[in-house]
Structure 1
Amino acid sequence: MEDRDMGSLEEDQLVQMVQDFIESESSSPANSTSSKCRSLTHRTQCYILQDILRSETRAEAKVRNYVLSLKRMRGRRDAEKTSSPRKWLVLKLKMEGLDASLCHTCWATSLGCPAGQYEYVEVNITEGENGSPVRLIVDIDFRSQFELARPTQYYREMTESLPVIFVGTENKLSRIISLLCSAAKQSFREKGLHVPPWRTTSYMQSKWFCGRHHEEPRTQGVDAREAEGEDEIGQWVPPTVKPRKRDLAGGSGLSREFSDLTINCC
């Protein structure tokens, strides 16, 4: 555990060094060695990213394997008809005995950061002999959140190395966001473009960390059928129609009309 903490500290220091270098490069005049320095910076960023992605704990590997197996199952059973793939995933993870929930984030406009909202899956699991609780973030559409329309070659290589499905801790995700946002800023500048507010570090962090609240999908009724991939059509039951009562007392015409209105639509 101490070695892992030391490794994370060294990675954070390297990320900060890369960020400082990018800032100094953007304010310094162009020179003959700037392209070589940028190439070195890109390689350093790629190495740091690969090291972060390789550092997978047992808990992360366990949840990732569950998610990948469920993803293959969903494809076989043609469950794309369900209303929400994330909700479907939460229900299936619960069936596997995991403490999973649907997590929503939302944030207001502040300091140039536009308002927005996001959704992902959260899994709480114990790790190690002492059973320490660990909160894992599961994002089934992770890579696309960092893709750019006109990236540089180096930034494209970084995004392509990202997993489509992310499973990891907040600390791990935070380091990836910091590194990718710095690389994106450099990519924009090399293309002569301004960094849009929705590509800043603060906006990207808000997607997973800001205004978080949970939704517990129902395990009965329609949601349970969606989790099993069943079609809701054909499950509808028509309302019960009560038989008309005969007017044996010879009531008035108005009373007979009311007696005819006996269909139970509830």
Structure 2
Amino acid sequence: MNFALILFVLLVITAVLWVFDHFYARKRRPQGSPAPWWVEYGASFFPVIVIVFGLRSFVVEPFKIPSGSMIPTLLVGDFILVNKYTYGIRLPVINKKAMALNDPQRGDVMVFRYPADPSMDYIKRVVGLPGDKVEYLNKRLRINGEEVAIEESGNYLHPDRLYYSPQYTEKLGEIEHSVLIEREAPAFVPQVMNYPFRENCTYTSGGVSCTVPAGHYFVMGDNRDASSDSRVWGFVPDENIVGKAFFVWFNFNDLKRIGRFH
């Protein structure tokens, strides 16, 4: 469901009703007679929809985490806020960048429209920037030939399934975060899709090596062996970017999650 489009349609309808009532209908009604209900309600909702549409389009937008691909950073059921302007001002509905501000950086948790189906929103961590050579071979990440250091940080207990996964601390750019890497899971990438710039990647039994094309980003989930990401469906084009996730504002199953983000 394209909620931005629905809001835009409601905005247009209520704006028309407000203009119609303010400049035409009100002047022709008998003194003291009430406005028709459809005019009254439509016109009264107009300022509310303007505020909601403006905030959601240019400031922050709420999202709910639907899968476990970003565990342990984000859990299923987390409600998060996404900064809509940090990567530039984009026109709502058409998502066209109108003003460039900052570019995504390695380590950012980014929301974007899924390249294979732009009607869906995905969330992953930015690993590779335009021009980077990203290698994920035998469960080790290298960027431009340099291995990204990781340190063991105990085991992570999955609360819903009651089993443990090896947990590591990884640092991408200036951002330190936790990742899960299953030692027993195979290293090769299964069910690779035929995506744009597929020729930039080489797949082996040990994993994948890619050169990120201009205007695109390579993203991965923190739950490395349970994430469908750039290793499977390719690069995220700049025009698909929605914003930067920065805050957990609610979780019905765990109120201690409120305010957390690593």
Structure 1 length as normaliser, TM-score?
0.23
**Structure whose residues are more often strand by fraction:** 2
**Structure whose residues are more often helix by fraction:** 1
State which structure, 1 or 2, has the greater radius of gyration over its C-alpha atoms: 1
Structure 2 length as normaliser, TM-score?
0.23
